[in-house]
Structure 1
Amino acid sequence: MQRYEVGGAVRDALLGRPVHDRDWVVVGATPEQLLAAGYTPVGRDFPVFLDPQTREEVALARTERKTAPGYHGFLVHAAPDVTLDEDLLRRDLTINAMARAADGTLIDPHGGQRDLAAKVLRHVSPAFAEDPVRILRLARFAARFDDFSVAPETLALMQAMVAAGEVDALVPERVWQELARGLMEARPSRMFTVLREAGALARLLPELDRLWGVPQRAEHHPEVDTGVHVMMVIDHAAGLGVPLTVRWAALGHDLGKGTTPPDILPRHLGHEGRSVELLRAVHARLRVPRDCAELAERVAREHGNVHASGGFGAAALLRLLERCDAFRKPAAFAELLQACTCDARGRLGRAEAPYPQAERLAAALAAAQAVDTAAVAADAAARGARGPAVGAAIAAAREAAVAQALAA
């Protein structure tokens, strides 16, 4: 029985990047032998165990054979006679198909080290085409290693997979999982660029794919192209290190511009409402988590008003805060302001532009929150106010507080 470190840990060590998770492959063993040695089984589809000391994942060397469309359609063979080379051959990319022996020897039968040096994402074998998740994974790696290119033959293979309908067999949860992970990488725009080049974005997120080539008014968007703008917005979000909720909202805030009637281009009247409707369909289709969905829909609906809020008076600011549910969910409102900041700065030449609207709205919220609503309500009730009249008294007190804060 021999044990090898494999995959991402080997790759990242060679790149000089931090290694967070280590995976291992055992050659020449049976599940019974690992169980007897104290390993805990965790794999459902193939034999994977947890090391009794380190709790790292250890898998038996295995091969796979395609039996049906999609990424579930595989017959897995794990046995003592499966070699390390056979196990590495089934992996997705050459840079992920390396192993390191206990004595430190690098096993690299498919040129992974060479492709690391050349900064190329290349498939290991034609078996890549058997698993459509690998298209998403490769695109995600492109977002992480943003100076790597995709090998031409690998891109051609991905395009053939899309044409064969393999992408259509992906389940929504897995699509969302990979998109979410890619959005959290250093340069998420690269993921969508690769998916577009492969033809996969049009199948997975057609609402986003149709934004490329859609013009915007140059005085507001020097980059003009809506798709280019959205990519700049998500990359700016990544640069700020904001959470997934904000990055997803940044990605979806302008979807409605893809359905603007041609006769009113490059203006996009009403795109906010269309964006919300398109997002609702995407969220239902991909089963997007509620926190991401709610923020994205709110940003899509209100980002234009947030941008214009520099000219709003106290009453209009309060109405905007209420529509954004800022009093009940101030943390989510702070994320909305982050997304709007990214939208304003995700434009050609405006990455460092000031965005005073965020500070002004945050100050307005703080002033309104400082109002002692219980005291205002009690005073109104003492004067005979009931129901809506009490609410009006609270609103008037908040408006006065916001007006005073703005005047300071």
Structure 2
Amino acid sequence: MDIYLVGGAVRDQLLGRPVVDRDWVVVGATPEDMLAQGYRAVGKDFPVFLHGDTKEEYALARTERKTGRGYHGFAFHADPSVTVEQDLERRDLTINAIAQREDGTLVDPFGGVGDIEARVLRHVSDAFAEDPVRLLRVARFAARYAPLGFRVADETMALMRRMVDDGEVDHLVPERVWTETRKALAEPMPSAFLRVLRDSGALRVLFPEVDALYGVPQRPEYHPEVDTGIHEELVLDAAAALAPGDSLVGWCAFTHDLGKALTPADVLPRHIMHEQRGIEPVRAISARLKVPVEYAFMAEMVCKHHLNAHMALELRPTTILRLLDALGALRRPERLETFLLACMADKRGRLGSAQADYPQADFLRACRTAAASITSQPFVAQGLQGPAIGEAMKKAQATAIAGVPKPAP
């Protein structure tokens, strides 16, 4: 029985990055052998075991063959005769198809080490095309490694385009699309995720609402980048810089401007009421991907109210209070923080504005603190009851907000 460290742990070691998860492949063993040595079986579709002490995953070396469409259309074969090279051959990218022996030497049958050095994301074999999730994974890896100079190999991009043309991507289930998207939005450069999907043609299939933003003009005095699709990319990267690893902020950035694709042609390059037009596509994309409730809620709030955030210093106290109430921010201040980070990303996601100040954020935080300081006790003590207490509190909250000093121009 031989045990190899495989996949991301080997890749990240070679890149000098922290190793988060360690996965192992076992060659020359049966499930009975693993159980006899104290491993606990956890795999449903193929033999995977947890180590009794480390709880790390140990999988028996296996091969796979395509049996149908989509992510689930595979049959797996695992027995002691399967070699580590055969196991590596079924993996997606060469940089993920490297194994490390117990003595530290590498098994690299597909040139993964060279591709790490060359900063290339390259598929291992044409079997890549059998699993549409791999296209999303390549886009996600691009979002992670683009800051290190990685690019998708030309032949891999060509294969991904064929996958789209052949309709394989149409069989992706919403849960898998969401899982990969959520992870990509938490990476350092999510704009690369968009670019890879768009270059392959998958963006128009999976996210037509986002694909439609490309080529839509904006007023250059506000958006020097002009193209709304480019603005989308800049906002995603600004969100990743402002809130590293926060996919909720990333999702809000991803969906904040969908209404601009619906602006009537005779109005362009202005986008009057785009925040209202965006609500329907935000709801549609959230429902289609079955995103968590909080993601759907916050995306709609950012879409609907991001211009109010930009104009916060000019808003009336009652309007600010309605915004805080809509967010539920008086009870849940973290919602205001998510909202403000996404709005700040929108402000900074413009050519030449990557470090732009956003005094609106501190002002709205102070408004929320002032409003939250108002309690019901004084009004109860005055003898007010029922709705009268709520009305009195609203007036007092608006007065408190009016007393918040605005930053100097």
Which bin holds the TM-score, normalised by the shorter protein? over 0.9
Q: CA deviation at 1:392?
A: 2.4
After TM superposition, the structure 1 = structure 2 runs for residues 1-400 of structure 1, keeping only pairs within 5 Å, are 1-146=1-146, 147-242=149-244, 243-379=246-382, 381=384, 386-400=385-399
Check whether the contact 2:313–2:406 (CA below 8 A) recurs between aligned residues: no
Q: CA deviation at 1:313?
A: 2.8
Q: CA deviation at 1:191?
A: 0.8
1:101-148 deviations in whole A, cap 9, x for unaligned? 111111111000111111000001111011101001111111111111
1:286-312 deviations in whole A, cap 9, x for unaligned? 000111111110010000111112112
1:79-99 deviations in whole A, cap 9, x for unaligned? 111111111111111111111
Q: CA deviation at 1:404?
A: 2.1
Q: CA deviation at 1:326?
A: 2.1
What is the alpha-carbon distance in structure 2 between the residues aligned to residue 328 and residue 404 of structure 1? 21
What is the alpha-carbon distance in structure 2 between the residues aligned to residue 355 and residue 377 of structure 1? 39
Check whether the contact 2:259–2:275 (CA below 8 A) recurs between aligned residues: yes
Cα separation, partners in 2 of 1:15 and 1:260, compared to 1, 3 Å: same
Q: CA deviation at 1:62?
A: 0.5
1:341 aligned counterpart, secondary structure: helix
What is the alpha-carbon distance in structure 2 between the residues aligned to residue 333 and residue 230 of structure 1? 22
What is the alpha-carbon distance in structure 2 between the residues aligned to residue 295 and residue 140 of structure 1? 23
Cα separation, partners in 2 of 1:38 and 1:407, compared to 1, 3 Å: closer
Q: CA deviation at 1:338?
A: 1.2
Check whether the contact 2:91–2:124 (CA below 8 A) recurs between aligned residues: yes
After TM superposition, the structure 1 = structure 2 runs for residues 393-408 of structure 1, keeping only pairs within 5 Å, are 393-406=392-405
Segments of 5+ residues of structure 2 without an aligned counterpart are none
Segments of 5+ residues of structure 1 without an aligned counterpart are none
1:182 aligned counterpart, secondary structure: helix
Check whether the contact 1:380–1:393 (CA below 8 A) recurs between aligned residues: no
1:142-167 deviations in whole A, cap 9, x for unaligned? 11111111111100000000111111
1:33-87 deviations in whole A, cap 9, x for unaligned? 1111111111111111111222111111110000101010001000111111111
Check whether the contact 1:25–1:58 (CA below 8 A) recurs between aligned residues: yes
- Per mean C-alpha deviation after superposition, the further-off stretch among 298-307 and 387-396 is 387-396
1:3 aligned counterpart, secondary structure: strand
What is the alpha-carbon distance in structure 1 between the residues aligned to residue 331 and residue 110 of structure 2? 55
What is the alpha-carbon distance in structure 2 between the residues aligned to residue 91 and residue 372 of structure 1? 59
What is the alpha-carbon distance in structure 1 between the residues aligned to residue 275 and residue 127 of structure 2? 43
Q: CA deviation at 1:233?
A: 0.9
What is the alpha-carbon distance in structure 1 between the residues aligned to residue 247 and residue 406 of structure 2? 36
What is the alpha-carbon distance in structure 1 between the residues aligned to residue 79 and residue 259 of structure 2? 53
Check whether the contact 1:40–1:50 (CA below 8 A) recurs between aligned residues: yes
1:158-205 deviations in whole A, cap 9, x for unaligned? 000011111111111111000000111111110111011111111111
Check whether the contact 1:376–1:397 (CA below 8 A) recurs between aligned residues: no
Check whether the contact 1:324–1:333 (CA below 8 A) recurs between aligned residues: yes
Check whether the contact 1:215–1:224 (CA below 8 A) recurs between aligned residues: yes
Q: Percent identity?
A: 56
What is the alpha-carbon distance in structure 1 between the residues aligned to residue 380 and residue 271 of structure 2? 43
What is the alpha-carbon distance in structure 1 between the residues aligned to residue 247 and residue 228 of structure 2? 21
Cα separation, partners in 2 of 1:53 and 1:319, compared to 1, 3 Å: closer
2:3 aligned counterpart, secondary structure: strand
Check whether the contact 1:236–1:345 (CA below 8 A) recurs between aligned residues: yes
The count of aligned residue pairs is: 404
2:337 aligned counterpart, secondary structure: helix
Check whether the contact 2:129–2:163 (CA below 8 A) recurs between aligned residues: yes
Q: CA deviation at 1:407?
A: 7.2
What is the alpha-carbon distance in structure 2 between the residues aligned to residue 12 and residue 270 of structure 1? 46
Check whether the contact 2:234–2:350 (CA below 8 A) recurs between aligned residues: yes
1:145 aligned counterpart, secondary structure: helix
Q: CA deviation at 1:391?
A: 2.5
Check whether the contact 2:363–2:406 (CA below 8 A) recurs between aligned residues: no
